[in-house]
Structure 1
């Protein structure tokens, strides 16, 4: 067991937990409310449903380490969109009215790591899709 694999696993699981909790929160708020909020800020309302499902299901997939690369690419696109459309005007640390984009930026960089990394830690990807050594 390598320390790199342990740390990468920890990083992937924490990213998954954060995203899953964000998804759960959206479901608890009510998807109609999320859709309405998206529409109120100029984003097509149907994307609220997609984002909530992506955060919840994608978070779970990252926790167990399944389809890590694909989920991470989707998270990266989502985080770029959220930063540009919602968070950027508030600045890095926020403007007193709302949160800044510091968390989104950190999550984006972690997602980009997993989108391109060859080492993803321990998870189902490793068990199911690892090439057999000859």
Structure 2
């Protein structure tokens, strides 16, 4: 009986699916925040205020939107996960890093984007898992 339970709990393909869909939904949520709440122009203005080119905001929005969709459907998961790592590192370096570690700090600390960066690297290492559109 313990062997059967262990086999059911050891489901790396299911774990990879859950991880990639969860991250995909979160990337879509963050893209939606930039599009519908802050607006693309407002996001570009924020990027400019922290010393980044405003045009980079549009690339980040596109990366979050397209990367989120790709993760959800499981298209080129390893490549997409690695491509999103610089986006998350950029949030740490340029946006949240100065606010300290904890995300509950004013301005949001870097704990959450750091964890998300690690999760993307894990996803790249384990692949897309179950129900992925492409296995890479």
TM-score by length of 1: 0.86
Q: Secondary structure at the match of 1:111?
A: helix
CA RMSD of aligned residues (A): 1.7
Deviation at 1:66, TM superposition (A): 0.4
How many residue pairs match? The answer is 126
Structure 1 range deviating more: 77-86 or 92-101 = 92-101
Aligned to 1:79: 88
Instruction: Kindly provide the CA deviation profile for residues 5-59 of structure 1, in whole angstroms up to 9, marking residues without a partner as x.
Output: 1011101110111111101111112111110110011011111000011101110
TM-score by length of 2: 0.85
Aligned to 2:4: none
Deviation at 1:82, TM superposition (A): 1.1
How do 1:1-134 residues align onto structure 2 when only pairs under 5 Å count? 3-28=11-36, 29-94=38-103, 96-117=105-126, 119-122=127-130, 123-126=132-135
Gaps of 5+ in 2: 1-7
